[in-house]
Amino acid sequence: MSVLAGRRVLVGVTGGIAAYKAVYLCRLLQEEGAEVRVAMTPAGTKFVTPLTFEAITQHTVATEIFPEKEFVATRHISWAQWADLCVVAPATFDFVGKVTHGIADDILANLIAALPADRTLYMAVAMNSEMYAKEAFQENVETLKKRGVRIIDAETGYLAEMMQGKGRMAEPEQILECIINDLRAQMPWTGKRILVTAGPTRERIDPVRYLSNASSGKMGYAIARVASQLGADVTLVSGPVTLETPRGVQRVDVTTAREMARVVEIAWPDADVLFMVAAVADFVPRDPADQKIKKSEATASLALEPAPDILAHCGKVKQPGQLLVGFAVETSNELAEARRKRTSKNLDLIVVNNPSTPGAAFEVDTNVVTMVTAESEEAFPLLSKEEVAKEILALAYRLYRELNVAADSNS
Ligand code: CTP
């Protein structure tokens, strides 16, 4: 699957003859599975009509800040939020100058001003070679590069004036390649299969009652979301929670520890990594009743039997090169317990937290964790669950690479 599949790309078209190549760029992006919208400067519309882009993208093209007939007062915000990345092709001398100096007097410049800081902006520059050589332009480009804008440099070749010179826009295929290479580098887990479990399990006592715990599933869902953003092929085995499935993640719903064990034990042999985040029941009712237990019939005790320890099983059958990550919630002796569980369940990494630490409870959006491996123990400060997920995936990636370098050299 292409790294662009499902990505939302905003293509900006400014007023240069290379605008015609932007039509083909849109098509190439779509062939890679990207969703494309186009915004044009007024000068851009002189070279190619918005209708052409509308036909290609099957979407309205933004050409004005204040169009008369539509309600678009906040479009520069909503479209900028929508985009995963933005590519301006062509980016003219004038437009590069505008973006450098924070001018936002057309819809495209407006959208770029409103683009969230974590979205990459690409500018495929195109102009006459005299303009290209101007200090003003060269200095602007240096400034933009320092700010993290990806400048796709112009090429030497025939310009519109039929003379040779540097200034011709890179071909759409090259622009696409640059974007794909960047995305691949930002997605180290591409091609890897990651299994994540999340949420609680529910163990039936009778048709209306069950044993469960306070897990919200938020930590596991954050790991699944971030792993997918980093390129992994993610399967999320989820206990009953009220969270939305992260984009691109395949979700399998289960209720009980036994159901979770069945799904995970089948999937684990084909996975590269398992993050066992779920709060799985340790014990389950031995004889769940078929009918609701009446108060008059109830006894003071409930007979329980052990639930399968999914993680311990996965640790036993782990193959060289597979990475196994466990989670532990402890209210005392966190580190000693984490070390013990890491060794006894054959884990490469265990992430431990204490729910009585402020900001580390089940239902909140933050966590305070310590990560324990065979070689290191690192305590992290209060972070959002999303940030914790990023830290866990970064450490897991280092461990996974070490394991696989070792596995490769042993074979
Ligand atoms: N786990 C599991 N199956 C179970 C219980 C736990 O796979 N039946 C996994 C959890 O998903 C977690 C890890 O084991 O990744 C540690 O869970 P925890 O409940 O802390 O460990 P236990 O071995 O059950 O230890 P204890 O309850 O005695 O602290």
Atom of ligand 1 nearest to the CA of 282: 8
pLDDT of residue 182: 94
Atom of ligand 1 nearest to the CA of 308: 8
How wide is the angle at C-alpha 228 spanned by C-alphas 57 and 367, nearest 5°? Answer: 130
pLDDT of residue 407: 61
| Interval 103-119: pLDDT, tens | 999 999 999 999 999 99
Mean pLDDT along residues 348-377 = 94
Evaluate: CB of 278 within 6 angstroms of ligand 1: yes
Q: How far is the CA of 348 from the centre of ligand 1 (A)?
A: 15
pLDDT band at residue 184, thresholds of 50, 70 and 90?
confident
pLDDT of residue 409: 58
Q: How far is the CA of 5 from the centre of ligand 1 (A)?
A: 36
Collapse the DSSP code of 295 into the 3-class scheme (helix H, G, I; strand E, B; otherwise coil) and give the result: coil
Omega before 90 cis (within 30°)? yes
Q: 24-37 burial, b for 16+ CB within 10 Å, e for fewer?
A: ebbebbbebebbbb
Evaluate: CB of 275 within 6 angstroms of ligand 1: no
Nearest CA among 362, 355, 359, 358 for reference residue 243: 362
Q: How far is the CA of 251 from the centre of ligand 1 (A)?
A: 21
* Positions marked active-site: 213
Q: Is the pLDDT of residue 369 over 60?
A: yes
Q: Is the pLDDT of residue 271 over 60?
A: yes
What domains are defined for the chain? 8-186 (3.40.50.1950), 193-282+304-410 (3.40.50.10300)
| Interval 199-253: pLDDT, tens | 999 999 999 999 999 999 999 999 999 999 899 999 999 999 999 999 899 999 9
| Interval 23-81: pLDDT, tens | 999 999 999 999 999 999 999 999 999 999 999 999 999 999 888 776 666 777 889 99
What's the pTM? 0.76
pLDDT of residue 298: 82
Q: Is the pLDDT of residue 411 over 60?
A: no
pLDDT of residue 71: 63
Contact 3, 183 (CB under 8 A): yes
Collapse the DSSP code of 123 into the 3-class scheme (helix H, G, I; strand E, B; otherwise coil) and give the result: strand
DSSP H/E element including 155: strand 155-158
Burial of 342 (0-12, 13-18, 19+ CB in 10 A): buried
Best probe residue, ligand 1, of 282, 323, 362 (max atoms within 8 Å of C-beta): 282
Beta bridge partners, 13, equal 40
pLDDT of residue 185: 86
Q: Please, what is the end-to-end C-alpha distance for the chain in angstroms?
A: 29
Q: Is the pLDDT of residue 260 over 70?
A: yes
